[in-house]
Structures are given as C-alpha cells and as structure tokens.
A and B are shown apart, each in its own frame.
Chain A
Amino acid sequence: MKYSGKLTKKMRQLWDEAHDFDPSDPMLGLTGKELSGPKLSRRATLRLLAAGGTLTAAHLMPGFSGMAQASGAPGGTLSCGWAGVAEIQTLDPAKIGQVLQFQITSNVLSGLMHIDASLVAQGDLAETWTVSDDGLEYTFKLREGVTFHNGDPFSADDVMYTFERSSNPEISIHSKNLANVEKLEKLGDYEVKFTLKKPQASFLTKTLERASGRAMTIVCKGALEQMGDAQYGLTPVGTGPFKVTEHVLGQGVVLEKFADYYDPERPKLDKVVIKPIDGVEPIAAALEAGDIQYIGGNPLAAQLIDRFKANSDLIVDIKPAPGFQSVWMNPWREPMKVTDFDKPMEELLKDKGFMVRLALAKALDRDTYVKQAHFGYAVPGYGTINPAMAFYYDEAIADKSQQAFDPDGARALLAEAGFPGGKGFPELELITTPAQKRNGLVLANIYKQVLGITVKVVPKEFSVGIQDFNNCEYDMRLGGSGGDYDPDDGIVDWMMTASKFNGRTRDKEKYAFGYFSNAEADGLIEKQSVTAGLEARKALVQEANQITSDRVACGFLYHPVDVQVRHKSVNYPAESRIPGLHDLDRVTLG
C-alpha cells in the first residue's frame, strides 16, 4: 500500500480516519450531505480516495485540496486536435463506440455519476444516493434546477426516457449494459430508483458513468424529438458544462460555455474548438505551429512523445491508461488447440496445444516489445486489470504469472510439444490493423529470436480483422480494450465464457466458446461482480485475473499509457486528469 512511515502525526491521523469505514457500506460511512455536490468536503474526498485505494501521502499534505482550481484566468478559446481520426462521426451516447467520442461528450452531456481523477465515482446529476443492504436497490436524489442547453428543465422523466431509449437494442448499442436492471422507477420529480436483478459492484462506475458508461448518459427528450437522431448525433443537447454550437463532419466540433451549468464556477473557458486530425506528422505540426494547444482523441503515436518532451513550449504528462492489449491465440486451431481450459493445471500442462500457447505467452519479451514498438511508453501487461485501476491492479502479477517472460521455459515447452527449436512449427498469421503493422513486426521478430518460429504479419482493416476475430477465423490477432475504469470492463467484458467479445458471432455448433472458457474464472468473476466489500472484491478480481493469465486466455502484452500533451499556456488541473478522458471544464488559459 502507499502508507508511508514518514507521515507526520497529523497526516497519520487523517490517513487512519480516511480508512475508518465499513467496506460493505456503500456510503462508506459518509452522510448524504457530505457526498452532496457541487463541492465535496475534505473528509469525504479523502474517504473516497481511500475507498478507491488511491489515497497517497501527497493527498494528506496541508496544501492539498480536492477542489484545487486552475491558476489561469477564465475565458478564452482552446483549440484542440483530436488525434487519429478524420471525423467525429457521432456524439449520441447510444451510438458511441469509440473512446475519442465519449471524451467529447463528457464535456457536453451529464450522467448520474462521473469518475474523478482517482477513478472514484462522484455524483454528477445525482446529488445523493443510497444503496439497499442487499445491494439490489439504488435510490438517487437528483439535482434540482438543472437545465438542458435548450432550456428544457432536467427531471426524473429524462432519466426514465434515457433508460427506455438505451434499453432498446434497435437504438442503442449499449443495451446490454442495462441487462442487469430489473426496473427503473420514478419516485418523484427528482428521485429515481434502480432495482437490479443481482447485485453489481460496478453499477456506479460502469453502468452509470457519464463518459465510458454511455448507457445512462442523460439525453434530452425534447431535443431528440425536435432534431431527430441524426442531428442529435451531431449536436447533442445535454446538461454538461459546454454546449455544442457547431459540428461539421470532417471539420470539427465547436463547444461553447453553457452559462447555466449547475456549477456556476465551471466551465472556465468560453469556447473549445475540436479538430479531428488523422496522421502523425500533421498533428505534430499543428501543435508546433500553434494551430492547436491541446491533443485529445486516440492515443498519441509513441514516436512523437520524446519530440514533444524536448519542446520547452509543451507539457507532456504521462499516466497509466485504462486498458490492455494482447496477442489472441485461436484455441480452435492447431498447433495451439485447447478445447477444455477447465482441466486441472497439471493436466493442462501435458496438453500439447496448451504447451504451445504457454510457450507463445512465455516468449513475449514485453520489455523489448514496449521499447521497440512503443518507444518505452507502455507498461508490460499480464492480465486485463490495468495499473490505472490502482486498487485492483496486482503489481506482483509480473512475477507470479505463468506468462512471465522465460525464454528457456518457452523453448522447453515448444520442444516438448514437438517443435524443438521451432522446427516443424507451422507459419502462423498474426492479424493487425494497418496502423499496428509495425507492432506486429516487432512481435514477429521476438518470436523468431526466442522460439525460432515464423509469424507472418497480416494487416487487415479493422472491419475485416474484427469480423475474423468474432467468427473465430484467425490464428493470432493483436488487439485489446480501452476505457477500462472498473474491473468489470476487463474481466466481465473479455474473460468470461459469456463475455460479449468471446467469439460473439462464432458458429456456436462448432465452437463452444470463442477464445477462452474456464468455469473457475467464470465463478470468481460472477462473485466479484456482486461483492460490495472492496478488499473482498479486490481479492476475487486478482484471483480471476491470475487464472486467466496462467491459463493463457491470451498472451497479455501491455497496458497503454495516457499521454496528455498541451501547450504550456494551458492550465489543466490535476483533479481533472482522468486517465483516458479530457474533461475541459476546469481548464484555463494564461
């Protein structure tokens, strides 16, 4: 833990007070008043940080304030470049499928909850909330006096409407996220109650989160009816700090300050201009030429990071990003065929297909890969649980996992499987996107060096590669996930037999599962989902993560880092620094 023996007596007292709560208490020992917005008390802030496992000595320093303000003056226009994209295709939360899209809507639309820089769920449109003892009922008291950008008042009806719209798979691509909701009731104009089918620990941070959640990002019924879905997708009307005043496809999005935002202190900026910029050199030139002052969107090309760091006019801030990337190995294809991951480990280790899988995972020299493919800007990965999740992340997994880099062990396994020195091993195809081709070549070289096998890199457009992956028609594929703020985003979405990505359009007669299936992992993941106690949940999450790593659900490769690049005139307060997001409401210029 981050508890330090160097804390002063006062800081030690604060530390103990922050951790003095019952983990099974969803309110963490805080009163509704203490949790009410727009400003949290210092006690509540420290308690939430402690509950999230992210409280550090720095937070206990006398000068620390959870609501520290940016230092510049209010006003001005911030020009942003959104990297790796030619067009912001939609801002309708029901249709959003890319992180770079919800990075924008997080500034425009609100949710009931929003995570903070420490990944603690804070009330957004929810002023307070209570959770029943059995974890099945969540009752929310909504903010009063909130208005949408078009002047419509916000009330419980909008929550009901959003729920109805998002539950319809014909309209929303996130309807599955609400599958655990038995019903939603309106208790009053500003009070709603969710009843769940089974307890869900991630309900606040995953389902109700305004940015990455998307299913319950509140939409404006009046505006939708007036504008229609297509126009709403371009210029959505919400209750967020900025309103969309212009959106020209392929040209960009203009956000302007919403004067009636519920927190009169925010936003600071008058205007934000977001330009989609595809290509590595164009975005670098735009920043260096002063066309833009801030970069958001897709992860920045790693080769630019050192160039920006060397520029004294720019600030480069790097944090762990919420996601993971892996080498997926088709368990239905020789020579890595494994159709039963449930066997006891000792039996599994005698299975030739598993030996090959484990050899391929053990041969992953992640340090070299990170250095060569990402110029050192990534974290070697061994599971779906990423370092940005802090509390749930298991720092020891690099040593404990069967997948730990072991070239001799990998060669021995491959030899035992009948391929000594890689002889007789068939050429495998590794599907990448065109942009990942270089990373694929680095991987292929590592396999050649360590195992003496040939891996052919086959770049395919995303739409083709993902279809092969979904249909289980591939040897190996490079890919993974982003925007994973809660353990459920990793282990529930990817590592269960019923996970949505686990061969979602496969021939079920032919393939019982997609890439992985293990009953023990399924049980642990189910259990952690309904465990409210943080420590207990953490133990279950880490155990499940370890199983998926040891049993080679895939060759876990790396966790990306979140690189924020901005001009030195842009003041971006630490409290808004949520990995993977770009909340601009507290940003100032000057």
Chain B
Amino acid sequence: MASYMLRRFIGSIIVMWAVATLVFFMLRFVPGDPIAAMLADAGGPDEIEAMKRNLGLDRSLFVQYAIWFQNMLHGDLGNSIYGSRVAVTAVLAEAIPRTLSLSLLAFVIALAIALPAGILSATRRNTATDTTVSLLAFLGLSMPDFWLAILLIIVFAANLQWLPAIGYAPLSDGFWPWFSHLILPSIAIGTAFSAIIARMIRSSLLEVLKADYMRTARAKGLTPWMIMFGHALPNAMIPVITVIGIAFALLISGAVVVENVFAIKGLGRVLIEGILNRDYPVVQGAVLVVSAIFVFSNLIVDLLYGVIDPRIRLN
C-alpha cells in the first residue's frame, strides 16, 4: 500500500510538472500581448519596452522558464503581471476557498438529491416513481446551469428577495452570510450533477440487485434496509465513485459560468481571465492547482475503491 501510494504520488508530481511546462510554452505561442492588454488606453512604445524589461518578458523563453521553475520549487509562483502585480499565491488563496465552498456545497446538494432519487428509482423500477425520477433527472441534465442560475436569481433574489443575488461572503463573516450567498449557485451547479449521479446510482444498483448474493441476503432474512445499505449500495458505489471523483474535479475548475452569473471569483474565473489577459504567472499557477486537484482526486478515488470493496487490492 505504502509503495503504491509513493509511486502514485511521484507519478502525480510528474504529471503536474508536465502539464505546467506544456502550459508555460503553449501560452507564449498563442497570439495576444499581455503588455498591450495591460496598457489599454495608456502608454506608448517606451512604456511597452520598459514594462517588458521590468517583467522579464524581454528574456529568452528558456531563461523565463528556468526562472519560473526555480521559483516554483521554492513555493514562489511569481506575481500577476496585470494590475498591482499581486502574488499569484495570494490570488489563488483568495479564489480557492470560494471554489471549494461552492463545490463542496454543490456536491452535498447533489448527493442529497441523487442518493434517495437513485435508490428510489432502482428499487421501484418501472413504476410511476421511477418514471418521475427519470424525467426529473433528464430535466436536470438538460437545463443549462447558467439558465437555471438566472432563473434562481430572478425568483429568490429579485422577486422574493430571500437571498442575495450576487457575491460571496467568507465563512469568517458568519455561517448565514456564507451559506446565503452560496446556496443559489450551489443549487445551479448541483442540479445537473445530481442528475448524473442519480442515473449512475440507478443503473449500478439495478445490476447489483440482480446478483446472487442479493437473493442470498433476502433468503437469510435481512431487512430491506440492511440489504440496501449493508450490501447493495456499497457494491453499487464503485462506478459511481469513479464518476463522482472526476465530476468533483471538473466542478472545481469548471464552475466558471455559474461563478460568472453570481459574480464569484473562483478558481475557474481566475484561470479564464488569466488566459484572456495573457497573465502568464496566474495561468501557470492556476493550472498547477487544477492539475493537482485532478491528480489527487483520482488518487483518492483509487484509494476509496479499496475501502469500499476489500476485494480490490492496491498494489
């Protein structure tokens, strides 16, 4: 187990380095000038040259890479080249809690909907309940998240005025301000997510419920509750967890549209704006974080297989 984890960890580091290096060079080869974007309506050729010198962008690409890599090994991801040149770590430190808060709450909402819906749908196969749950799942999958987000704002913020329409409040401001700002965007994101998981749980459970050991469980007199939660669900969760792991990672980096609608500057928006402004250090830092999230969430999923199903040996 320890050697497996060590191998996976080293592999993860190599993947992250490869992604970051690829992004470093790709960014510099795509069209777009960060200095021109930054200067907008100010500055002439002298300012452009001075700015390039100041930011080290006049050096060769490999020198820039070497400096960036060396600094990264020391935990220094550089400074944003846009605006006040805030440290990239500070930009990420602001964005990550917002994205994590949003993703976790969306994740909880999604599971809270998906688990009972998936179980109900599977255990009452081909009944009105199953049809209703399936229809709702399709509806959830079909609704674009930005559309649902705007709908939620119009109903709960603009009309009923129960919840704030936009923004984010950190947990340090109190639970309610934090929760009230996040509940609508979390529902907007979590709905589609819950539909995917509910469908996965349903199909996976249906397979498991047909298995011989289910008949054995029923024959030995176990209650339906024990059969479901003691035997069926853990076995059905293996493929579901794979999907959840990937989807959670996608959620963290891909909630850009909903973040935009609710004016929450999370990791996704940091990344997108960094790309649009050609803010190289910010993009490199954000990509590093996102790749770490992908790599480690997959690692956690792999480890969870062994926990859920002891027959799976991690070696």
Interface of A with B (CB < 8 Å)? 81, 86-87, 89-92, 95-98, 169-170, 172-176, 214, 229-234, 248-252, 275-279, 281-283, 285-286, 288-291, 461-464, 466-468, 470, 481-483, 493, 500, 504-505
Contacts and interface: CB of A to CB of B under 8 A. Distances in A.
A283 B36 CA distance: 28
B278 interface: yes
A467 B111 CA distance: 47
A84 B161 CA distance: 23
A282 B36 contact: no
- Residue from A276, A289, A462 with most neighbouring chain B CB atoms (10 Å): A289
A210 B113 CA distance: 55
A251 B41 contact: no
B261 A282 contact: yes
Contact of B86 (A230, A291, A467, A481): A230
B127 to A, nearest CB: 40
A464 B86 contact: no
Nearest to B87: A230
B43 A285 contact: no
Contacts of B48: 504-505
23 contacts: A89-B83, A95-B85, A97-B40, A97-B42, A97-B43, A98-B40, A169-B51, A170-B54, A174-B42, A176-B44, A229-B84, A249-B86, A249-B265, A250-B98, A278-B260, A283-B166, A285-B166, A291-B166, A466-B33, A470-B36, A481-B41, A505-B36, A505-B48
A466 B265 contact: no
Given A234-B84, A285-B158, A250 B43 contact: no
B277 A463 contact: yes
Interface string B237-249: 0000000000000
Interface stretch (B117-125, B149-157, B217-225, B307-315): B149-157
Nearest to A88: B83
A282 B32 contact: no
Contacts of A281: 150, 153, 261
B47 A173 contact: yes
A290 B167 CA distance: 13
A462 B84 contact: no
Contacts of B263: 86, 275-279, 282, 286
A408 B167 CA distance: 52
B260 A86 contact: yes
B84 A92 contact: yes
B107 interface: no
B50 interface: yes
B43 A176 contact: yes
- Residue from B34, B42, B53 with most neighbouring chain A CB atoms (10 Å): B42
Contact of B31 (A92, A251, A467, A470): A467
Contacts, number: 178
Given A169-B50, A482-B41, A504-B45, A289 B86 contact: no
Contacts of A172: 47
B83 A282 contact: no
B85 A282 contact: no
Contacts of A96: 42
B193 interface: no
Contacts of B53: 170
Contacts of B266: 250
Interface in B221-267: 260-266
A6 B150 CA distance: 53
B79 interface: yes
Contact of B94 (A98, A251, A482): A251
Contacts of A170: 50-51, 53-54
B269 interface: yes
B44 A467 contact: no
Interface in B42-75: 42-51, 53-54
A422 to B, nearest CB: 30
Contacts of A481: 41
A466 B264 CA distance: 28
A279 B84 contact: no
Nearest to B98: A250
Contacts of A250: 94-95, 98, 264-266, 269-270
B276 interface: yes
Contacts of B265: 86-87, 249-251, 276
Given A89-B83, A90-B83, A97 B41 contact: yes
B13 interface: no
B82 interface: yes
A272 to B, nearest CB: 15
Interface in B78-104: 79-80, 82-87, 90-91, 94-95, 98
A290 B154 contact: no
B271 to A, nearest CB: 12
Contacts of A234: 84, 86
Interface in B1-49: 31-34, 36-49
Contacts of A92: 84
B144 interface: no
A470 B153 CA distance: 41
Nearest to A468: B31
A72 B168 CA distance: 30
B24 to A, nearest CB: 17
A463 B33 contact: yes
Given A250-B94, A285-B153, 7 more contacts: A169-B47, A233-B86, A282-B165, A289-B153, A461-B32, A462-B37, A462-B40
Contact of A87 (B33, B54, B161, B273): B273
Contacts of B270: 250
Contacts of B165: 282, 285-286, 288-289, 291
A463 B32 contact: yes
B164 interface: yes
A407 B33 CA distance: 38
Q: What 3 A-B pairs come out closest when comparing CB atoms? A: A233-B84, A250-B265, A89-B83
